[in-house]
Amino acid sequence: MKEKPSEWIAISDLMAGVMAVVMLLLVVAVLQKSVSDLRYQEELAKALEKKDDPVLKVTKLLDEMLKSSESSELIALDKYTNRLTLRDGVFERGSACLNPEAKAAVNAIQSQLVSFLLDNPKARILVEGYSDNIPVGRPVTDYKRFCTVYDDNFTLSAARAREARRELIGTLDANASKRIVVAGYGESKPLAGIEPSDPRNRRVEVQFLIE
């Protein structure tokens, strides 16, 4: 007659299984903590990097300045792209001349842009002009009145960017001024979600870069 297996052996096997599960859970918990710690360190490093990012610093200062002034009606800041936009109202229609209100608005933020360049030798500022797609009816040759001569939207958009750059330069010396670069894109880059003929496409955008 065979002997029945001892119930203590069954209990021992059960306890061994429980201990194995506990150990497995402990290992998983340790691994999860290690992964969490690593992710935390990565996020902390990213946060510190952003904190010291010169572009974010200057755009934050500009955002605070625009919120506390009337300049926000003429100049907008996109915090997602870190771009300033001089809206169509800063220029007379068909002209590259900045109106007096626009000059005052640009001058109000000019010191922050100068500091950005002087504090960061590898920094650049791009001043980009854009237009709607309405063709130029006839060449404009009265420079004194329109601050430029042009016969198409590309030339006009570049001239508007150039005039904005002149106001932004301020007291910068010749070497630092070279890091403020102008480009004119005409009607080639309309704003998303609006018609190419919409007046809002007539704008100048200011972008901050660190090389």
Q: How far apart are CA 73 and CA 207, in angstroms?
A: 19
Instruction: Read off the pLDDT of each residue in 37-47 and give the average, rounded to a whole number.
Output: 52
Instruction: Retrieve residue 185's tokens.
Output: 């894109």
| Amino acid of residue 122 | K
SS3 for the chain is CCCCCCHHHHHHHHHHHHHHHHHHHHHHHHHHHHHHHHHHHHHHHHHHHHHCCHHHHHHHHHHHHHHCCHHHHCEEEECCCCEEEECHHHECCCCCCECHHHHHHHHHHHHHHHHHHHHCCCEEEEEEEECCCCCCCCCECCHHHHCCCECCHHHHHHHHHHHHHHHHHCCCCHHHHCCEEEEECCCCCCCCCCCCCCHHHCEEEEEEEEC
Instruction: Read off the pLDDT of each residue in 146-151 and give the average, rounded to a whole number.
Output: 94
- Between 78 and 3, the higher pLDDT residue: 78
Q: How far apart are CA 89 and CA 127, in angstroms?
A: 17
Q: How far apart are CA 110 and CA 75, in angstroms?
A: 12
Span 70-127, pLDDT tens digits:
777 788 898 888 899 988 778 877 899 998 888 888 888 888 888 999 999 999 999 9
Q: What does the pLDDT read at residue 89?
A: 75
The answer to whether the beta carbons of residues 108 and 84 sit under 8 Å apart is: no
Q: What does the pLDDT read at residue 105?
A: 86
User: Superfamily assignment of 53-210 in CATH?
Assistant: OmpA-like domain (3.30.1330.60)
Q: What does the pLDDT read at residue 19?
A: 77
The answer to whether the beta carbons of residues 147 and 95 sit under 8 Å apart is: yes
Backbone angles phi, psi at 131, to 5 degrees: -140, 175
SS3 for 60-85 is HHHHHHHHCCHHHHCEEEECCCCEEE
Instruction: Read off the pLDDT of each residue in 15-21 and give the average, rounded to a whole number.
Output: 74
Q: Which residues pair with 181 in a beta bridge?
A: 126
